[in-house]
Amino acid sequence: MEARDVRDATATLVDALAPAAGGDWSVGVAHLTWSAAETAAHCASGLLWYGVNLATRTERRTALPPVRADAPPRDLLGTIDGAGGLLAFVVGKAPAQARGFHPRGMADPSGFAAMGCDELLVHGWDIASALGVGFDPSPELVARVLGRLFPWVPPEPDPWSALLWANGRLDLPRRPRPKMWKWHCAPLAEWDGTIPA
């Protein structure tokens, strides 16, 4: 995955949610204990954290101030847009061998791009569902995120359903919902072929 994917995922979220920016973002989000505003702030914070960790090549956890969830929805969307742009810029400039900290493994630029896209798409869906607006990401982008972070998850019945399932958002036939999502953000060449427990 690459910088263009992060820009596309950012635009998907912002374009889908901008028409609802005048709504009530204090509504709760299913599957989470957060409101729509808190979910948006978390998403922006995650993108910033990924960008900093890759830019600094840190090998340990970093602490950034959180994005304020009490900001107006338009400002939250603007922050997500900026944070997505920052992550895309860092991913685009980082050498392929660069690594940065994540609790699930030392991620490379492709891993950070995929994690950023997953944050944007899944939390975009969370917020859109809470606000009652549509959210329709590109199937090709979704398939790339699924294949990069969850290579053990088959893309059936479709990549979007599979990605939401992998993130614990929905049930699929004959597949129990994961109790805790786990992804592979280190280079794919380092995946040993096992499904994380």
| pLDDT of the residue at 177 | 80
CATH number at residue 104: 1.20.120.450
Flag whether 196 is in a domain.
no
* Distance between CA atoms of residues 133 and 111, nearest Å: 29
Flag whether 197 is in a domain.
no
Note down the domain range covering 166.
Answer: 3-190
Flag whether 195 is in a domain.
no
Report the range out of 7-16, 29-38, 147-156 with the highest average pLDDT: 7-16
Other CB atoms within 10 Å distance of the CB of residue 149: 26
What domain count does the chain have? Answer: 1
Q: 112-149 pLDDT, tens per residue?
A: 999 999 999 999 999 999 999 999 999 999 999 999 99
133 touches 91 (CB < 8 A): no
Read off the tokens for 131.
Answer: 């606000």
17 touches 77 (CB < 8 A): yes
Q: 30-48 pLDDT, tens per residue?
A: 988 999 999 999 999 999 9
Flag whether 75 is in a domain.
yes
CA distances from 106 to 13, 97, 120, 195 (A): 27, 11, 20, 18
Flag whether 74 is in a domain.
yes
What is the 3 state secondary structure string of 32-74? CCCEHHHHHHHHHHHHHHHHHHHHHCCCCCCCCCCCCCCCCHH
